[in-house]
Structure 1
């Protein structure tokens, strides 16, 4: 795997906190975190920015209905998202709230840049607006429910809105956007999302209303009393304010443009049409890629409060463990497509792959070294062709196969390559039978066990972006320094001899992956840790 030392910037969508975070927020955060950790392991200087999009009519109405100040609601709900990110081990660098004064300055800066370009004008808006989506829709996009309610493409109610508004000349950017999509085919991924956006833009773009006067909870429009910015201008600018834009000498100068905006498929239009047009207008570089992932379905059904199947990701993490949840979501769902999950599937995945396959491999390999070699590691042994063949297969997975797939966000394919290497190691143990060699050929046993030790280290480093806590716990037991757990460390053929020279000895290993059990009749989100493996 070739080294890449260029800066890497990745973002989650900026979550709207009018409710507690759900499993979809967790899924996106975990995938983004895995990519950030993977790039750090490659040696790149990484920034991961996330945050909460706290303005807009929906937040204003929710707070009003609860009889409280909007900022109080924003403080509370934003706190829930921070709590979730902490619980799920999300290694973000900056958490930006749109209510932050620094974010207001950034939003007003990009507004002034678009205004200077001549792309903003004051007019009267009349049209359909979805409070829930914080989005304007054309008549042609709407459907009608049985009770006569007009619905957006997302199935949310829309209402006819009339007010004075600032407009952005989105129509002027149609040709430039189409040229962008043609020249950079990977700007929007996966292909299905790209095709949707192409059809939308080819159908013609209308100028976009980008301010509101019916409420005051938002970023004030500079020089226009009574107007606050349309929430999507404000929210998208978080990707800039999270790096300190527009302050001189800020991280923005090093990390922008973003390598990846990781978002749900339902907000691709805002990111792949509006956002690049705003940036073009402000003469700012465009992000390199917009990736619209799919939805998570609960037992194949879309989650909704009315069905009673909305699951708290914190409950899943508490019941099954954070690493088991992280692993399952990226192992079982083809990233970019819709996927389904259930407590039973999480248990099966954790037990089969983590506890029984990798966990058992590590446990029995290290236990045999502890019991039969006194925990002593050595590089002084006679390796055979089958030993080198196994190590070559494991190293190829860790330095070529998995990294190549993760670079393309094919997480499940990369993990599948990792699993094949785990299975090969377990087959090697069964074939070599070191417990028999202990009596018949102790030196051969030593060679087999040290081959396994090397393989387990490589496997742990490779999967570390996905299950960071468990991988670190294992590498701690193996005496691997915290600064020797990246992909560059895999190229150090002398790590074992260095460790042996330090008089390190393996202690009795401690199991790292619990076997999970699902109580009979358990509801979604229920499960318990059982014996460890």
Structure 2
């Protein structure tokens, strides 16, 4: 196994308001992927955090009559950090761009760019979107309509733009057009999915202009190290969190062990920053480029992209409060194709909860434990001779484990869960076909009943391990009910590459009926 750390990041989220379900989606998907790699036994580092500088935050704080630092401190502690607990995220670090380590690392990176002649002073005159903290070219500006009548808006995201003229520092992005195109060709999986890759290549092929990377008309940001009249452009500063959090400029040994990142998980609307500007900055600084930028799609509610302005945003705690964090995590990993836009609804969440979790997985665990309790006094029986029916179960499990592991490697959690659910469906079908309740009546002294229930218990053991990255609370309860902690050790120590090996639960293990993993819920219409 490589000594290199498997490093996954989310974007750092812009702290101008409370988090919505889109933030939760990105963070949970990264968490599932990193938990799976931990279950493989790999050294993993999972980073998330908050982006706290920029003109939008400054204006929001002023509108609320507080300093920008007070504003971001309140939101981070009351909204953003609690989100991680709500959706049960096991991140290894949380970076804030107002932290000293980020300030020092960012200035060290800028100093490296400066020494390599990658930046120069110039003047910028053009359009700027405070809402998206983005410079917008003339070709992407149009007259606003409706509520935006009388304003200019960005055709990229519909945000209002303002015309500004100020002295800035520029990054020589134009020098990297061909270098980036060559890099994309040599590394076809760098930007995924394919739709995002095609858009990025098309954008770069049209030509790159040097990028304004500082602001000089306000001071809420990190100062340019050699010029205290300028602060870093918030997007450029934010991208640096991926290296400042792991020791850039302060701990070279740690930085070398963790960098480059294996996967930057981002929304597709910010793929360009991560797949164009960020690799160019790293190339300019002489640093390795991340292995992959994966851009997921938008969440759609009622056919529209979720947004605060449309009042169709859903807070993660609303769903978790009704269905629980495990069901929240499962739904977004199973129901949506990661990388594509996906529609969500309360009706679909409820339907999947009851059909797949309560009636599928939860009922399977309950009925197996209940039958072992009824027929074997809660003690796992030793299996007798296996038939073709057991061979089918064992083969189904082995194939599903291989397919699920490959799907996680391809950053396709929905395919991983589809593979795992073949085990759930297979075990439910196996119980129906084998009818252990009939066997108990017709052949109470034979070993067929023991074989059936031992097989299903082994299947549940496999499911507890495979689903632990997705539904850690339910799987911990199942692991406990199977008596597996005492027999096999901690759930976190079970390895994906060994999970399909059969006969791991020893005969004689005490099996208890777990509390209802997914109780039925009455959802108000």
TM bin (shorter chain):
over 0.9
Measure the CA separation in 2 of the matches of 1:5 and 1:40.
14
Task: State the match for 1:403 in structure 2.
Answer: 405
Q: Secondary structure in 2 aligned to 1:68?
A: coil
Task: State the match for 1:111 in structure 2.
Answer: 110
Task: State the match for 2:85 in structure 1.
Answer: 86
Task: State the match for 1:41 in structure 2.
Answer: 39
Structure 2 residues not aligned, in runs of 5+: none
- When structure 1 is superposed on structure 2, of 272-281 and 241-250 the one drifting more is 241-250
Q: CA deviation at 1:6?
A: 4.8
Normalised to the residue count of structure 1, the TM-score between the two structures is: 0.93
2:512 corresponds to 1:510: no
Decide whether aligned partners of structure 1 residues 488 and 24 sit closer, same or farther in structure 2, where only a CA change above 3 A counts. Answer: same
Q: CA deviation at 1:468?
A: 1.3
Measure the CA separation in 2 of the matches of 1:60 and 1:277.
28
Measure the CA separation in 1 of the matches of 2:245 and 2:500.
35
Normalised to the residue count of structure 2, the TM-score between the two structures is: 0.95
Measure the CA separation in 2 of the matches of 1:307 and 1:290.
29
Residues 232-273 of structure 1, C-alpha deviations (whole Å, 9 max, x = no match): 121001001121222235532211000000000111111111
Decide whether aligned partners of structure 1 residues 196 and 282 sit closer, same or farther in structure 2, where only a CA change above 3 A counts. Answer: same
Decide whether aligned partners of structure 1 residues 11 and 463 sit closer, same or farther in structure 2, where only a CA change above 3 A counts. Answer: same
Q: CA deviation at 1:415?
A: 1.3
2:427 to 421, 425, 431: 425
Decide whether the 8 Å contact of 1:4 with 1:43 is kept in 2: no
Decide whether aligned partners of structure 1 residues 6 and 431 sit closer, same or farther in structure 2, where only a CA change above 3 A counts. Answer: farther
Decide whether aligned partners of structure 1 residues 423 and 493 sit closer, same or farther in structure 2, where only a CA change above 3 A counts. Answer: closer
2:274 corresponds to 1:238: no
Measure the CA separation in 1 of the matches of 2:110 and 2:218.
19
Q: CA deviation at 1:157?
A: 0.7
Q: CA RMSD in A?
A: 1.5
Task: State the match for 2:286 in structure 1.
Answer: 283
2:493 corresponds to 1:495: no
2:494 corresponds to 1:485: yes
Measure the CA separation in 2 of the matches of 1:307 and 1:272.
29
Decide whether the 8 Å contact of 1:391 with 1:454 is kept in 2: no
Measure the CA separation in 1 of the matches of 2:398 and 2:464.
12
Measure the CA separation in 2 of the matches of 1:6 and 1:100.
26
Q: CA deviation at 1:516?
A: 2.5
Decide whether aligned partners of structure 1 residues 130 and 468 sit closer, same or farther in structure 2, where only a CA change above 3 A counts. Answer: same
Q: CA deviation at 1:384?
A: 1.8
Decide whether the 8 Å contact of 1:243 with 1:250 is kept in 2: no
Decide whether the 8 Å contact of 2:366 with 2:513 is kept in 1: no
Q: Secondary structure in 2 aligned to 1:291?
A: strand
Measure the CA separation in 1 of the matches of 2:467 and 2:512.
23
Q: Secondary structure in 2 aligned to 1:461?
A: helix
Q: Secondary structure in 2 aligned to 1:496?
A: coil
Task: State the match for 1:163 in structure 2.
Answer: 166
Measure the CA separation in 1 of the matches of 2:252 and 2:308.
46
Decide whether the 8 Å contact of 1:114 with 1:281 is kept in 2: yes
- When structure 1 is superposed on structure 2, of 353-362 and 241-250 the one drifting more is 241-250
Measure the CA separation in 2 of the matches of 1:126 and 1:6.
44
Q: CA deviation at 1:112?
A: 0.7
Task: State the match for 2:69 in structure 1.
Answer: 71
Decide whether aligned partners of structure 1 residues 346 and 156 sit closer, same or farther in structure 2, where only a CA change above 3 A counts. Answer: same
Task: State the match for 1:530 in structure 2.
Answer: none
Q: CA deviation at 1:385?
A: 2.3
2:343 corresponds to 1:334: no
Task: State the match for 1:101 in structure 2.
Answer: 100
Measure the CA separation in 1 of the matches of 2:150 and 2:183.
40
Decide whether the 8 Å contact of 2:39 with 2:493 is kept in 1: no
Decide whether aligned partners of structure 1 residues 383 and 394 sit closer, same or farther in structure 2, where only a CA change above 3 A counts. Answer: same
Q: CA deviation at 1:304?
A: 3.1
Task: State the match for 1:228 in structure 2.
Answer: 231
Decide whether the 8 Å contact of 2:350 with 2:523 is kept in 1: yes
Decide whether the 8 Å contact of 2:12 with 2:51 is kept in 1: yes
Q: CA deviation at 1:484?
A: 4.0
Task: State the match for 1:523 in structure 2.
Answer: none
Decide whether the 8 Å contact of 2:221 with 2:234 is kept in 1: yes
Q: How does 1:357-506 map to 2 (within 5 A)?
A: 357-398=360-401, 400-442=402-444, 443-481=447-485, 482=490, 483-490=492-499, 492-497=501-506, 500=507, 504-506=509-511
How many residue pairs get matched?
Answer: 513
Q: How does 1:161-200 map to 2 (within 5 A)?
A: 161-200=164-203
1:519 to 492, 513, 524: 524
Measure the CA separation in 1 of the matches of 2:72 and 2:95.
13
Decide whether aligned partners of structure 1 residues 6 and 105 sit closer, same or farther in structure 2, where only a CA change above 3 A counts. Answer: closer
Task: State the match for 1:201 in structure 2.
Answer: 204
Task: State the match for 2:213 in structure 1.
Answer: 210
Q: Secondary structure in 2 aligned to 1:495?
A: coil
Residues 428-449 of structure 1, C-alpha deviations (whole Å, 9 max, x = no match): 1011110111122232101100
Measure the CA separation in 1 of the matches of 2:218 and 2:253.
33
Measure the CA separation in 2 of the matches of 1:390 and 1:155.
53
Residues 191-247 of structure 1, C-alpha deviations (whole Å, 9 max, x = no match): 111111111111111111111111111111001021110011210010011212222
Q: CA deviation at 1:486?
A: 3.0
Q: CA deviation at 1:491?
A: 5.1
Residues 144-188 of structure 1, C-alpha deviations (whole Å, 9 max, x = no match): 223242211111011111111111111111110111111111111
Decide whether aligned partners of structure 1 residues 293 and 118 sit closer, same or farther in structure 2, where only a CA change above 3 A counts. Answer: same
Measure the CA separation in 1 of the matches of 2:234 and 2:407.
35
Decide whether the 8 Å contact of 1:14 with 1:50 is kept in 2: yes
Q: Secondary structure in 1 aligned to 2:287?
A: coil
